[in-house]
Each structure stands twice: as structure tokens, then as C-alpha cells.
Amino acid sequence: MAISGSPLLDTFTYHTDFPLTPGERVVVDFANRSVVAYVVEITDELPEFATKPVLQKLDEKPFLTSKDVELALRISERFLCPVGKIFDLFFPPGKVMNVKSFVVPQSQELPIKDIIPLTAAREKFGAVTIENWKKSRKIRIVHSYEQKKTRVQKKKFVRLRLSIKDLEKIKLTDLQRKVVEHLFSFDVIEVRELIKNLDLKSISPIQTLEKKGILEVFEDETYEFSDWTIAPIDELTSEQRRVLNSIVYDFKGVHLIYGLTGTGKTEVYFKAMEKVLTEGAQVLYLVPEVSLTPQLLARVKGTFPGREVRVYHSYLSKAKRQGIWLDAHEGNVDIIIGTRSSIWIPMRKLGLIIVDEEHDASFYQQSSPHYDAVEVAVEKGKLHNIPIILGSATPRVTHYFRAIEGEYKLHKLKHRPVGKLPSLELIDMRKSKGFYVLSKKALEEIKELLKDEKQIFVFVHRKGFSNYVVCTNCGTVIKCPNCDISLTYHRHGNILKCHYCGFTTPPFSNCPNCGSAALSARGFGTERVEYELRNFFPSVKIIRLDKETIESPSDYEKALRMIEQEDAQVVVGTKMIAKGLDFPKVGCVIVVDSDRLINLPRYDATENAFQLITQASGRSGRGTFGKTLIQSFNPDHPVIQNAVENDFERFFETEIKTRELLKYPPFSYFVEMIVEHVDEKRCQKKAEEIAELIGKEFSEQFFEIHGPVVPVIKKFKGRFRMKIFLKLKPEASMKELRELIKKHSAQIDLVVDGIGGML
């Protein structure tokens, strides 16, 4: 049995009097608690130790198959994570059961005559007495299981009922017309959002328009903003057809499409999906972030009218996720578009998995259980014997290496069907005197493009107004009390905020170290860039897209519609604007802080920098014209030069030689062991003990063992941290390492080949 939620790597043996199959959910007694567990294996062999009984089957029918069980075991082995937590991923939240226990008397001599709750019996007779009665079989403990009910809060939405022509014939007040005109921009909008956007004093104007039959107000807890569709592109280019034919000709294994931005990878995906759907199978379409789903959903609905298409991600309510999960499992959904969690949905008729923007770090789960959804997709494809299509303009170095080595099948797209690849221009910020954030050249370019009615994307790596606050007298940086991280200053709300644990505080008047009032905000983020642009262009429509302004998929969809309808002229944003978006009016992308990306403390910093710069620049030139401006204080850096030349293959050749020399992935596996404790000294001592044990018993298995060392983030959410870093040979046995760390698995967090994290 694998125990749900347990941090332990072990599985446990139980006995049962009723038939079970691998993958079924049951309830067992674990550490004197009734918990959910998963059947991993059935055996007739009796163990040499006493076992507890399985208390109850949890589901009327099993949801997982033997292939799902095998997938869980493989991923647990590959990423050294607790198998119980991996099994938990197969099910949506809210499927946990309430377990109620009762005492059933088996002897007439007992003072208990009727069935009573176990808690009441323990309170009345004592826990020891109840346990003794149980051992002597004078009572029996039975269990009742009830599913937790999820409270569903209905939301109110509003939409127009009449066309523009019909509305021209109706006399409206200025306020009513204001409401109607705002609704022209939205097929559907929440009532509270409408009131907020128009700063209405009450709901009265909306109610009046509803009485007149001009608009409709309705309630729904499951409504999706799904009316938006984008017309399909039916004809493929000769290059796209060539790639499609080569994929379909050998429709198995892993296919990697390396396609420059805007070359039409999505159209190839759609044609491959069409083949699978016509054969009655399901498609799983993975995207790295929720922010990419609105426009993609509109394209999928436009291309596959009549097909059942659902979106699956963590922003959905528990009730809705359960409904979509069950429909997908039963085969009632044709296409699932989802983030990394959707890879675990046990779809019964799965015929194809597509992973778009496969390079993206968001596919790696940074919290326990750590796993890479792309690697899970590959393993799932092997088990189900179905094709996997990975696509990116900047593939992961490890995946491109597998492709050129023949493990994956490589396909290339190099020509844009519409528009041209953007011209890239470097701006040497060392010569941009007096312009710290946006260069004079960038500001002039924005001014000219606005005259031509073009849109501009401004990519900034960080959010916030200033990245840190420092005392210029003593050098103290204001840090989060829970994490060893500097607090970011946000001008909106006038607060200092930790972007790791969410801690906020008003700005300090004096330095907490020396008492000086010489505090200075340094660095910049999206909010600062937006602020400066508004100063330079006060009449221009500017919007900001980051996690401070976009809190839900509906927020993101509204922003996308503003861009599509040209209600936004300049868009400032983090990486959510750097990938997957396709707007023909975007004439220029400005990468403000390219140097930060290169200098992150990670082995894959140069890869990440190249990817983000290339992806961001690819948002322009989708129509007839495009330009990218890259600001840098180190314009001669090879990564910057490769990005300017849009030359991934040249970047790859340099990067792979460096990694081979240093024995970095794909020539090794990285394992980071993070030891955490509220006490700093005990944390260090435990880390030293584990490192010494590994060094004694398994040093020959590794290229290198480093640590324990203090990680980049020394303290996280009130817990001190130490890191042990292991570099394993590709042939090293994870099983042996797993056995070693089982003794300490509840005290450490294991990250295998983590991408995108700074631990």
C-alpha cells in the first residue's frame, strides 16, 4: 500500500478479506489514523510480520489501471519522491472521504447495548478499555464513509441580448449607454467586474437594462468564458505538411518539433489531433501556464466545432475539477487543454499527448512531490503506446540532444507562413547615459510605432516597482522575516512584499539596523517600467500583465481581448507575455533587462536566458513587420549574440560542449537534497550526518558530492535550509540512493534535475 500524503518513500503491507486490484483506493489504519491508501501490488505470500486489515474500499469501481500504477512507480523512482503523493496526483482535490467509526457490541455482558460512535465510546469508557475489548473480540469497530460536500458559490454574469442594430433604435440614458458600450468588449463579464470597471454606485443600471430585455443576468458556478473562438487555418504550408506527414508516417514514440516562433507548430498539432479524434481517441494538450489557455481554447474551439473541449487547471473550483476529471476519465471529453496537473488524469481513451512550449520551467513542480510533467508525458506515452509531440522554438538542451542522438524524432519548421521573423537590435545600455530603465532608443521606437498604430510589448523579468530596499548608510538590505529574501517594493498599495511566502509590511521610515533614514529603493520591475512609460506617454493606453494584476484566467482573457481589440497600445509584462501569444498588430518587443536572466545562480541560466529572449522577440512580426530591441549592459555576451542572430542551433552547439566538459545534464543527473528545520544548528547537523552517510556508502556512484552548503535561499517560510548537491552518472542506480534516503525521507526535500528553481 502507498499511503496518501505521506512523505515516506516506503510502501506498507496489509491483508484483506475482499478482492482488490492494483490502483484501487482503500482506507487503512496507519499510525492510529484512518487514512486513504492505494493498492500497489497483490501477493499471496504471507509476510513474516503481523499485518493490519484493509478497512474499506473507497470507490465503487477502480479508477486507475495497472498502467497508471506502473507510471506512479516509475515517476516515484525517477524523481525520488513519495509514491503515495504521486498517487494523490491522479485524483482531483475534494475526493477525500470523511471516515466515521462506530463500536458494534459482540457480547451481552458489556455495558454497550447499541452501536455508538467510537469517539463517544472512548470518552465514556476510556481508550485503553475500548482497545482491550477489541482485542478480546467483545466489540467490533466498523467504519462509515461519506464524501465531503464541496460548497459551490454561484457567480452572477451579464451579457447583451440585442445586436448593435437593435440597440440603435432604443433610447438609453448616458449611464445605460456606458454599460452597453462596455459590454461590446466582452461576450460575458461578471456583474461585480462590470460594476468595478465602470465605478457604478449600484447595480440599478444593470437591473433596468435587464428589465428592458437589453441584457441578461444569470448565475452559474461552472461558467467558462468560452464564447471566444478564432477561425481555423485550413491550409498548411509545404513545410508544415512535410513535418505533419513525417510525424503521422511514424506515429509512435516522441516527436520533437523545433519550430521558430510563428512558423505554425500549432497548425501541425491540430492536424495530428484531427487524425486521432477521427479514430475515436482523446487528446491531451499540455501548456505550461494557465495564461496560455484562453487564446488556445479559442483556437481549438474554432478548429474543432462540435467537439467536447475542456480546460483543466488549479484555478477551477474543486467541484468543477472533479466534474471535468470524471468526464475525461469516462471518455466524455474529446480534448483536454491543461497545465501540468492534467497529465495525471486517467483518460481511458487517450490517443495523443501534445506538450507545447516544452522547454518551459512551469512544467516542473517545485513543491513536493517534485516531478517534470514533460518526462511524465514521455513515460505515459511509452506505457500507453501512443505518440507524444513536444514543440518549442527553443527546445530544452537535454531534449534536443536526445533528438539528434536518435532517441526522439526531430522535425524542423523554419519559415513563417505569415509575416517575417523580427529584426533584432542590440542596445548597449553602457552608452545610454541618463536612461536607467528604458533607453532613449527604446522610447523613440515606441513613439514612432504608436504613430503607425502598432502595439508594443515590453518584457521585464521581475514584477514590482523596486527589487530591494537598501540603507545607503550601513548597507543593510530589508529582508523578509520568514525567508532569506529581500522584500520587493510595490508602489501600488505602498507595501514591501516577499514574493516567496507573501509577507507584506508598510515601507520602513528608518533602517532597522542603524536607524538611518537613508533608505533607497533599487532595481526595477514591471510596475516601475509601467510608471515610467505613463510619464513619457500620458495619453497612451498601457496595461500591465504580471501576477499582481492577473489573478485568474478570466483576468487574463480580458487582457488578451483588450490586446486583440487594440484597447491596449503598450503591454508591460513578465514571462506571461513572452510565450504562446499571437497578435498581428504587435510591431515591437522590448526586452528591458536581459542581463538579469544570464546571471541567475543556476546551471541552466544561459539556456533560460536564450529561451526567454527568443520567445519574447517572437511575439512581434506576426503580421507584416516586427522588431525586437534587446537592452544589455553586456551586449557581447555569446548568449545575447546568439539570441540576436536567432540561432538556437549555434547556441546548442556551444552549450552542449560546455555541459559535456562540466558533466551537466544530459551527461549526468542532478539531485538536490534540501534539509529543513526550524532550528538552524539542528538543520546543519542533520545535513552533515546525511552527507557523511552518502559519502561513505555511495561516493563511487557519483561524479561529485557537494555540501552541505547554505543554498541561495537560506531560510524559507520560517525554516532554515541546507543543501546537499549530488551529480550522478547517467547509469547510477536511483534504487540504491532511494534505499539510503528512506531513513530520512520525512526530513528532507528531494529535487531531481530541477529546472527553473533557485534553491
- Residue ranges for the known binding site for Zn(2+) are 471, 474, 480, 483, 498, 501, 511, 514
Strands of 627-632's sheet in order across: 423-428, 627-632, 586-591, 455-459, 570-573, 542-545
Tell me whether residue 149 is exposed, middle or buried, using C-beta atoms within 10 angstroms of its C-beta: 0 to 12, 13 to 18, 19 or more.
exposed
d(CA 643, CA 591): 11
Q: What cell was used for 553?
A: 484566467
**527, 548 Cβ separation under 8 angstroms:** yes
CA atoms within 13 A on the CB side of 407: 9
**Residues in CB range of 199: below 8 A, 6 or more apart:** none
**Rounded distance between C-alpha atoms, residue 690 and residue 683, angstroms:** 11
As annotated, the binding site includes: 471, 474, 480, 483, 498, 501, 511, 514
Q: Cell for 320?
A: 468543477
Degrees to nearest 5, angle at CA 560 with 555 and 561 = 100
Burial status of residue 431 (CB atoms within 10 A of its CB: 0-12, 13-18, 19 or more): exposed
CA distances, 668 to each of 240, 275, 629, 756 (Å): 35, 38, 36, 17
Q: Which of 582, 648, 597, 627 is nearest to 392 (CA)?
A: 648
Coil, helix or strand at residue 619: coil
Q: Kindly state the cell numbers that stand for 89.
A: 496526483
- Distance spanning both ends of the chain, measured CA to CA: 32
**What grid cell was written down for 514?**
542603524
Give Cα separations from 611 to 414, 455, 523, 605 (angstroms).
16, 22, 23, 10
Angle at 403 between CA 371 and CA 349, to 5 degrees: 55
Nearest-5° Cα angle at 436, 576 to 574: 5
